[in-house]
Structure 1
């Protein structure tokens, strides 16, 4: 009787088959990119709807920009004025003023020529007692005066033809460069009135409506970049070393077949554990969260939340 009982137990144990290992349980999640408002403003356009594909640089929203455009136009005019002032300092006086200096010098030369003839004549007459000596002396004095005036006029003309002093040029150049930066900053504020996508992917959710006031830094859109789906799964401590960052894993799920993923994040602490002390018997119940990015174009159609099984690929 006793021997028969033992044989029955052995038969039952032999008939039991171990359940084959089917991988660690997990699910598919998106590595979302949240697009926030760069500046505050009223929403005037929302050209993209939920579910539409977006590309890098594509406009997702526009803010009112009248004030920013006026500021940019004003900054541009100030920059052009500063640039013109600097260029003028390199070329000397304007042609109209140069012509005035030249005409003044030419007139003085003619007067000096006439004064020299008069002085020569009066000096000769004074020696012959045909004219008063005072008249001859006055004529000579007139020549000397005109010579001094001509030298001053020619010096003014030469100075007018010269560019501005180095110090003046440097100051005007610095003012021009500062105004260029001010204009660039004003134009940057104009550009920021358009909220653009920073990645190729799909717009999954809009958090704002047309006509709303949005403050700077407020989340506006939820975008899933291409290749941003990942498998999240949990492994026990005993096999954690099998899933280092960079390790390829096999991911399988209903309707998607088998996919390949690459581990890119491993938790440094247990994700969950029973409410007990970490002794030798409880260590086996610890689970660590692992994330692996799904690879290949087929991964872009895997639905979120899909339950999956994950196994490490062996070399």
Structure 2
């Protein structure tokens, strides 16, 4: 009985070893792993609210960089921009007026008054000369000479006054007035830039070439500020995630080339490893021992080339192997 039990145990051990060997033969090689395709979507939105007035793309469409995608109604923003532009023009015109002094017609009026005063001053000076000669000859009284002298002084003073007015009329405004008006021009320019920015926000364009994955609003619907309108997937945002054993992760490095194979693909897709996780995943239970650490797996990400990325679809299962 003891010998039979011993033989039965040996047969059971051999059978178990054979089954394990067969199971081991069915496992995938250490350089091939299962994974899936993932996309990092770009959500296009506006910082301003409004009614969706134009939707230039459809789901599944491939668009070029800077292609128009959507437009919201912008009546208020357009009017605000026009108002700001008019205020800027007024501020600039006022600054030019301050820098140039009085207008030429105003200066010409002052010059004409100066010419008239100069003529009067010459006439009064001649009359004063004649009266002085007459007074020395005893022909006129002292009072008449004093009147002539006062008239000559008055006309000469008027000439000096108008001469100074002409000079002042050609001068620009005071420095503080100029500085204040320059600040007004800068403020008006800032208002124009702000109004232009708000108007530009009512229109969306593709930040890069890519696939329109989905449109989230229909024409005529009200779109709150910040809500995505179009969901895009640029080819550079397509990546593959796969999981490798703890015994293999140490041999991988970023930049290492891998080959991606998927059902229905016309051929293999080349990619490069761009990320290797520092944390183990799917480890029930996490017990770091020689017996259980082989269960640890690490997530690895690889990006295909921009040309090959459209061959892959998010959620698609793939097989990855080292190149």
For residue 169 of structure 1, what is the aligned residue in structure 2? 178
Are the counterparts in 1 of residues 46 and 203 from structure 2 also a CA contact under 8 Å? no
Match of 2:318 in 1: 308
The residue correspondences of 1:138-177 to structure 2 (distance < 5 A) are 138-177=147-186
Displacement of 1:161: 1.0
- Secondary structure of 1:305 counterpart: coil
Cα distance, 1:88 vs structure 2: 2.3
Are 2:138 and 1:129 aligned? Answer: yes
Match of 2:227 among 208, 218, 234: 218
Residues 117-153 of structure 1 show CA distances to partners (whole Å, capped at 9, x for unaligned) of 2222223233333333212211110110111111111
1:260 aligns with 270
1:285 aligns with 2:263: no
Q: Provide the C-alpha distance between the structure 2 equivalents of 1:99 and 1:226, rounded to a whole number of angstroms.
A: 72
- SS of residue in 2 equivalent to 1:279: coil
Report matched runs for 1:14-93 at 5 Å.
18-19=25-26, 21=29, 23-93=32-102
**CA displacement at 1:296 relative to structure 2:** 5.1
TM-score, structure 2 as length reference: 0.87
Report Cα offsets for 1:140-171 as digits up to 9, x if no partner. Answer: 10110111111111111111112223332222
Of 178, 184, 187, the residue aligned with 2:187 is 178
Instruction: Say whether the 8 Å CA contact 1:33–1:222 is kept in structure 2.
Output: yes
Structure 1 unmatched ranges of 5 or more: none
How big is the shift at 1:226? 2.4
2-side partners of 1:270 and 1:42: how far apart?
Answer: 48
Match of 1:123, SS?
A: helix
SS in 2 for 1:183: helix
Whether the aligned pair in 1 keeps the contact of 2:43 and 2:231 (CA below 8 Å) is yes
Deviation of 1:174 after TM superposition, in Å, equals: 2.3
Relative to structure 1, the CA distance from residue 162 to residue 296 in structure 2 (aligned partners, 3 Å threshold; closer, same or farther) is closer
Q: Is contact 1:98–1:157 with CA below 8 Å preserved after alignment?
A: yes
Match in the other structure for 2:4: none
Q: Distance in 1 between matches of 2:250 and 2:210?
A: 33
Q: Which of 283, 294, 303 is 1:273 aligned to?
A: 283
C-alpha separation between the residues in 1 aligned to 2:306 and 2:54?
35
Q: Report the secondary structure of 2:198's partner residue.
A: helix
- The CA distance in 2 between the partners of 1:211 and 1:296, in whole Å, is 35
Preserved contact between residue 235 and residue 306 of structure 2 (Cα < 8 Å): no
Distance (Å, rounded) in 1 between the aligned partners of 2:252 and 2:101: 75
Q: Does 1:109 align with 2:106?
A: no
Q: Which moved more, 1:85-94 or 1:62-71?
A: 85-94
Which stretch shows the higher mean deviation, 169-178 or 69-78? Answer: 169-178
Q: 1:311 to 1:242 in 2, by over 3 A?
A: farther
**Counterparts in 2 of 1:174-213, with a 5 A limit?**
174-213=183-222
What SS is found at the alignment partner of 2:243? strand
Per the normalisation by structure 1, the TM-score is: 0.89
Aligned length: 307
Matches within 5 A, 1:225-236: 225-236=234-245
* 3-state SS in 1 of match to 2:279: coil
